[in-house]
């Protein structure tokens, strides 16, 4: 019997949700918090979200990169059917990525 050419994605929706929650929870220690560190935290979160999105996109061609990255923003409703934050020109509004 021949094997199917299509392989199933390794990750499921529940994994996407949990990964987005992990990115939302990325914080710096109290000692590291400063005005400069807060902007670095935003950059770190965006970078982590982007790396996860790239990996998940390779795993599943139907993966919605913009929706996932929107769900990674602090305060986003990860469980919503559609992300509450709309991507604008491939980037999220900066106020959604506050530390």
Q: Can you say whether the dihedral through the CA atoms of 76, 80, 85, 91 is positive or negative?
A: positive
What average pLDDT does this structure show over 68-78?
A: 86
Integer Cα distance of 35 and 41 in angstroms:
10
pLDDT tops 80 at residue 72: yes
Averaged confidence pLDDT in the chain: 75
pLDDT tops 80 at residue 70: yes
The residue ranges of every structural domain in the chain are: 33-97
Q: Over the stretch 13-56, which tens digit does the pLDDT of each residue have?
A: 899 999 999 888 887 666 666 666 777 888 888 899 999 999 99
Q: Is 82 left (phi over 0), alpha (psi -120 to 50) or beta?
A: beta
């Amino acid at each position: 019997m021949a094997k199917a050419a299509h392989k199933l994605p390794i990750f499921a929706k529940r994994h996407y949700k949990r990964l987005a929650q992990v990115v939302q929870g990325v914080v710096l220690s109290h000692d590291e918090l400063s005005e400069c560190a807060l902007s670095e935290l935003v950059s770190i979160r965006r970078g982590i979200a982007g790396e996860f999105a790239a990996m998940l996109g390779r795993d599943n061609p139907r993966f919605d990169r913009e929706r996932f990255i929107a769900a990674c923003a602090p305060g986003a409703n990860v469980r919503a059917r559609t992300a509450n934050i709309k991507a604008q020109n491939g980037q999220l509004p900066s106020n959604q990525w506050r530390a």
